[in-house]
Structure 1
Amino acid sequence: MELEITVDELKAQLASAHPPLVLDVREGWEYETTHIPGSKLMPMQEVPSRAFNELDEDQHIAVLCHHGARSLSVANWLQQQGFSNARSVAGGIDLWAKVIDPKLPRY
């Protein structure tokens, strides 16, 4: 099963009629530093306790972190739990800020 999408694919999906939920799994301070507007903050360590109450198993979910390592781990876990439409955003918010939205702060 595919685990990743590119920042270009995410940009196209966000502009579609049925955009995915952008699930930001970074820490609160990272989210406060920079984030994609409309994204949902759920730090990685909170995902197991919050996912089944706050996420829709049928919704497309784009999991985002700083560079793509944490999000890949979370997307893999979510898929194993039945969230088959969860994908990690390769390159994370750093690549998003570099390629898609250069006005976002980088850290």
Structure 2
Amino acid sequence: MLNPEITAQAAAELLKQPNAPVLVDVREKWEFDTAHIENSLLMPMGEVPARANNELDPDEPILVVCHHGARSLNVTMWLRQQGFENAQSLAGGIDAWSRTIDPTVPRY
């Protein structure tokens, strides 16, 4: 099974691949509006249980993103318990993404 967390560098490489993971941003709307990775699906953490089975494919790779990596890791582990075995959390969250991959993404 995949490691539950993935570094920003490894995630950036995956996102360049033809079968790129679905980016699921589990932060609140105001956070998403402040800063997000292009083509992310906003699914606040509290909405994941109601939306995951309708909007996500358990066979597809999923990259879960939050601010610093705690919420996304919690959601990743929950998704894995629900059969989404290809879910991974972005270690360090969007903050790490902004610091190491795309400095145009605002930090907050």
The corresponding residue for 1:56 is 57
Equivalents in 2 of 1:59, 1:29: separation in Å?
Answer: 27
2:103 corresponds in structure 1 to 102
Equivalenced residue count is 107
In structure 2, distance between residues paired with 1:86 and 1:18: 14
User: Residues 18-50 of structure 1: CA distance to partner in whole angstroms, max 9, x if unpaired?
Assistant: 110010000000000010000000000000000
State the superposition RMSD in angstroms. 0.6
- What SS class does the counterpart of residue 63 from structure 1 fall into? strand
Tell me the equivalent position of 2:8: 7
**What is the CA-CA distance between 1:76 and the residue it aligns to?**
0.1
C-alpha deviation, 1:104, in angstroms: 1.1
Partner of 1:71: 72
Please, which runs of 5 or more residues in structure 2 have no aligned partner?
none
How many percent identity over aligned positions? 58
Task: Compute the TM-score of the two structures, normalised by the length of structure 1.
Answer: 0.98
**Cα shift at 1:68:** 0.1
Structure-2-length-normalised TM-score: 0.97
Which SS does the other structure have where 2:9 is aligned?
Answer: helix
